[in-house]
Every structure is written in structure tokens, then in C-alpha cells.
Amino acid sequence: MTPTAAEYAARQEIPVAQVKTRAPRPKIVGSDSPEPPFPISLVGPVQKGFGRGGKDLGCPTANLPDDSITPISSVAKTGVYYGYAQVIPPQESRGDFQTDDLNVLPMVMSLGWNPFYKNKVLTAEIHIMHNFQSDFYGYEMRAIVLGYIRPELDYVSREALIEDIEIDKQVALNCLQRPAYQVYAKDSHFQHQEELKASM
């Protein structure tokens, strides 16, 4: 059985799968409904990461603190995942957000060490598929991880990495179109518009 991300971290090992071929990737992955260990709920304040996602890759990410990722790192292997996420700004900052910014939105998440950048620390980096107009460092983020897309890979070029990231996003959106996955956008783990309006 493949070790979990937490087991690799405890051993101070970094698993790397080499990119051998550029075979066409499937446009949808997994079963028609989430299977164990999914769904996995995560919550924590957004931390500053390495600042590479938006600048280098056109894919800005939000990092969760180490203690927030235990629910997934303790049961899942490293790789790329999909699900839903929501940023919940403090009440005094909600006026800076557009209404759409407060929605539960599709996301892709990388759990691991990002071999292309040779990270030394296990991270969970979430890319929410939405164009936010402002940063939200320190704000609470909630996520539900619903499925696995692919392993972490080491790439020969940044262009190859960007290509796979774009495919990851499309795969995630395709997977989340399935009815059994869509219901999680309304899960009680998230705060919905009525609750947010009531607290404003």
C-alpha cells in the first residue's frame, strides 16, 4: 500500500514519480460518487506560500497551515486532488469582497513537496477556480476534498508543468459536474450566502 503523505513526511522522504511519456490524460477520473477516504474536510487560515503559483504558473494558490492538513495527509498519498473551497473573510473585511468571492467554488489542490521546485516541507496548496480581486492572507478557508486526480510528478520544464496544471483544472471541473459531487457545494462545512448575509 502506498504510504500516506504524513508517513513520507515522518520518514523525511520525498516521493517523486518521473514523467515518462506525455500520453493523453483522461478528462474525468474516479467513480460516480466519492469513495473513502473522501470526503475530507479541511479548515484553516490562509498562509503566505512561496509566491510562485500566480507569478510562475498562472495558478495562484492558497496554503493551509501544517496542522490544518492532517485530516488529508494522514489518510491520503501525495498528489493532485479536487473538490470545493470557500474563503470566509472577517466581518469587517467582507465589504472588500464581491458577492461571487464568498461562494463555494471548485478547486484543485496539490498535496506534497512540488518536486519541480524541490520544496523541503509537505504543503497543501489550493487553487480556487475563481478570479479574486484581492488577496486573502490570514482569512479562513474551508475545503472539502472529494477525489484524486494524479500523482505528484517531476517535470523537465515549467511549460510541461503548466500544461498539466491546466489539464488538472479541467479534469476537476468535469469530475465536479457529477450529481453526487455537486451536493457537496451545499455541505454544512461551508457558510452559505444566507448565513454570511445574516452575519454582516
CA distance 147 to 176: 9
CA distance 47 to 70: 16
Q: What pLDDT score was predicted for residue 103? A: 93
The four Cα atoms 33, 81, 46, 200 give a dihedral, to 10 degrees, of: -30
DSSP conformation class of 47: B
Q: Which of 13, 125, 194, 195 is catalytic?
A: 125
* pTM of the full structure: 0.85
**What b/e sequence results for 129-142 when a residue is b if at least 16 CB atoms lie within 10 Å of its CB, and e otherwise?**
beeeeeebeeeebb
Q: What pLDDT score was predicted for residue 66? A: 82
Q: What pLDDT score was predicted for residue 117? A: 47
Q: What pLDDT score was predicted for residue 48? A: 74
Please report where in the chains the cell 498535496 appears, as a residue: 111
Q: Mark out the alpha helices in the chain (DSSP H runs).
A: 5-11, 52-57, 70-73, 158-176, 179-182, 193-198
Q: Is 194 noted as a catalytic residue in this protein?
A: no
Q: What pLDDT score was predicted for residue 118? A: 54
Q: What are phi and psi of 57, to 5 degrees?
A: -120, -5
Q: What pLDDT score was predicted for residue 195? A: 72
Q: What pLDDT score was predicted for residue 3? A: 81
Question: Consecutive 10-residue runs of the chain (200 residues): their mean pLDDT?
Answer: 75 60 82 97 84 52 87 91 94 82 94 61 87 85 96 71 87 98 97 68
Thinking of the domain 5-22+29-189, which architecture would CATH place it in? Beta Barrel (2.40)
Please report where in the chains the cell 520544496 appears, as a residue: 119
